[in-house]
Structure 1
Amino acid sequence: MRLFNPETMTEVIQGFHDTAGAIELPDDNWFFTSTEIPEGKKLAVNNSGEPILIDISQLAE
């Protein structure tokens, strides 16, 4: 089970971090397979609290 905190946009490790507000993500979620955010992208959270990547240009809109 992999946990993600949509407020802090970080991985949550049970027994080490506070799990309040964390959501469970599937093990194959891209957030756990990528080591860095691609250039021109920014980490954001969708309506379900899951991590998504958005274009930095979308922030100006």
Structure 2
Amino acid sequence: MRLFNPITKTEVIPGIHDTSGAIELPDDNWYFKTYEIPAGKILAVNENGEPVLEDIIQTEE
């Protein structure tokens, strides 16, 4: 299992980072398999603190 911080939206490495508030994600979670966020998407966090990709909403000015 790997750790994810839903506040900073980053991976947490025990012994290097503070693990308080981090949640466990399986090693095969998409977050650890993707090197770049796809075009038109943004990294967000769902109600469980897990990383999700959401569509970028553009507002008219």
- TM-score > 0.5, shorter chain as reference: yes
CA RMSD for the aligned pairs? 1.1
1:2-17 matches, within 5 Å, as: 2-17=2-17
Structure 2 counterpart of 1:2, one-letter code? R
List 4+ stretches of structure 1 deviating above 6 A. Answer: none
Superposed CA deviations along residues 31-58 of structure 1, whole A, max 9, x for unmatched, are: 000000000000000000000000002x
- Whether 2:22 is the aligned partner of 1:22: answer yes
Give distance in 2, aligned partners of 1:8 and 1:35: 17
State the secondary structure of the residue aligned to 1:42. Answer: strand
- Give 1 or 2: higher helix fraction: 1
Aligned with 1:15: secondary structure?
Answer: coil
Amino acid in structure 1 at the alignment position of 2:56: I
Q: Which runs of 5+ in 2 are unaligned?
A: none
Question: Residue 7 of structure 1 aligns to a residue in which SS?
Answer: coil
Identity %: 69
Bigger radius of gyration among the two: 2
